[in-house]
Structure 1
Amino acid sequence: MWISPASPNDPDSLELVRRHRAHSAEHSVNPADDHVLDIADLTGPDVAFFGLRDGTGELLAVAALRHLSADHAELKSMHTRSEARGRGLGRALLDHLMDEARARGYTRLSLETGTQPGFAAARRLYASAGFTPCPPFGAYTATANNVYYTREL
């Protein structure tokens, strides 16, 4: 497998972003608390988008880093194809993004996810990688449907 920069506009990326948006919408209680980026935002100058591919070139997972400040980035749009889950791909992609954030000079990486059961695997992954709960950051506000994590890099 390999991880490299990707375009969210590529057909296989679009498919995974669509799946990510559908999963988030299905498991979010309140649409106002669903903070999934759309394609226009994922292609913005403050976002770096990455894809994880298998040996045949099939895209299995995507994620993005969004610049918040000179030393702080946000993990966005992390999604592994459902058929490929349970193989450690999410962890591999998360580790790569933490390394990428360090290489870009960030000293903190934060994220937002849902509190509902459909987001439990994501919360376990982030906790296992050293992310700890934190107050809302950036433009986020506290709700019962969202939880925020951060970690020093």
Structure 2
Amino acid sequence: MDIRLDDLTSAQVIELLEEHLADMQVTSPPESKHALDLDALKCASVLFWTLWDNDQLAGFAACKQLDASHAELKSMRTARSYKNKGVASRLLKHIINDVKAKGFDKLSLETGSMDYFAPARALYQKHGFSYCEPFSDYVDDPNSKFMTLNLRE
């Protein structure tokens, strides 16, 4: 398996992104939905990685630069046939190492507070993230949990 920066043009990538957005649509109330669509993920401030198993897409992750020292993990998705095979951990480790190497001090994220997102929150805690107050343009929201990782510790 290899991780690569992606230009979001592959049919497999677009299909997995559409699946991700559809799940967020039914899982999160409209006022609490923060997932980026295809056009937003193509923004210059966003890096988008895919993990491939030969020619099969195993998952993706996106990270957005908020300012010179702070980045936000925006999206992560594992393809159904690759669930519980370490894809999310592998992508998360890659992102942490990449943003640290680029000189960021902090990596933060917003995720849902519902049970659906419990595995994601557990993954982030396993990799050193801790709960924090809303950051950037986010506000307190009972449907959201905010987490951050200090990259300089």
The question of 1:49 aligning with 2:48 is answered yes
In the alignment, structure 1 segments of 5+ residues that lack a partner are none
Measured in 1, the distance between the counterparts of 2:74 and 2:33 equals 12
Structure 2 match to 1:3: 3
Quote how far apart the aligned CAs of 1:117 are.
Answer: 1.1
Contact 1:7/1:13 (8 A) holds in 2 = no
TM-score scaled by length of structure 1: 0.95
* Inter-partner Cα distance in structure 1 for 2:55 and 2:100: 26
Question: Matches of 1:78 and 1:36 in 2, distance apart?
Answer: 10
Aligned counterparts of 1:127 and 1:93: Cα–Cα separation in 2: 15
Cα distance in structure 2, aligned partners of 1:86 and 1:2? 17
Tell me the C-alpha RMSD between the 2 structures.
0.9
Separation in structure 2 between the aligned mates of residue 16 and residue 94 of structure 1, nearest angstrom: 18
Question: Residues 9 and 39 of structure 1 are in contact (CA less than 8 Å); yes or no, is this contact kept in structure 2?
Answer: no
Shift of 1:10: 2.1
- 1:4-153 to structure 2, matched below 5 A, reads 4-28=4-28, 30-54=29-53, 56-153=54-151
Distance 1:118 1:95 in 2: 22
Instruction: Say which SS state the counterpart of residue 21 (structure 2) adopts.
Output: helix
What displacement does 1:145 show? 0.2
After superposition, give the CA deviation of every residue in 1:26-73 in whole Å (9 maximum; x if it has no partner). 221x2110101011110001001000011x221110011100011110
Q: Distance in 2 between matches of 1:142 and 1:14?
A: 31
How many angstroms apart in 1 are the aligned matches of 2:141 and 2:89? 27
Distance, in Å, in 1 between the alignment partners of 2:7 and 2:150 is 27
Superposed structure 1 runs of 4+ greater than 2 Å apart: none
For 1:149, the aligned partner's letter is M
What is the TM-score of this pair, normalised by structure 2?
0.95
How many residues are treated as equivalent by the alignment? 151
**Inter-partner Cα distance in structure 1 for 2:112 and 2:96:** 21
Aligned mates of 1:94, 1:88 — CA distance in 2: 10
> Structure 2: where are the runs of 5+ without partners?
none
Q: Distance in 1 between matches of 2:130 and 2:34?
A: 19
